[in-house]
Amino acid sequence: MRPYNMKIVALREQDLELLLPSMDEADKATLVATMRHVARFRPERAQRIEYLLQEQGWQTR
């Protein structure tokens, strides 16, 4: 069995609001991809993330 590196990040919405303005395009793409992954098993949480990103002016679709 191959070992896998796993990074777990837990952010509160307040933390994310502070970080969003400083994110570059690669960070934004990673966040949107993570949101889409989360939507497969926690759609309500992904929707909250999507609303937050849209409030910040991000295109998520």
- Could you report the per-residue pLDDT of 3-37, keeping only the tens digit for each? 555 555 666 777 777 888 888 888 888 888 888 89
Residue 41: what are its φ and ψ, rounded to 5°?
A: -125, -15
Instruction: Give whole-number Cα distances, 15 to 4, 5, 12, 18, in Å.
Output: 27, 24, 5, 5
Q: Where are the domains of the chain?
A: 13-55
Describe the chain by its helix, strand, coil percentages, rounded to 5: 60, 0, 40
Instruction: Kindly report the pTM of this predicted structure.
Output: 0.65
- Mean pLDDT over all residues of the chain? 80
pLDDT at 40: 92
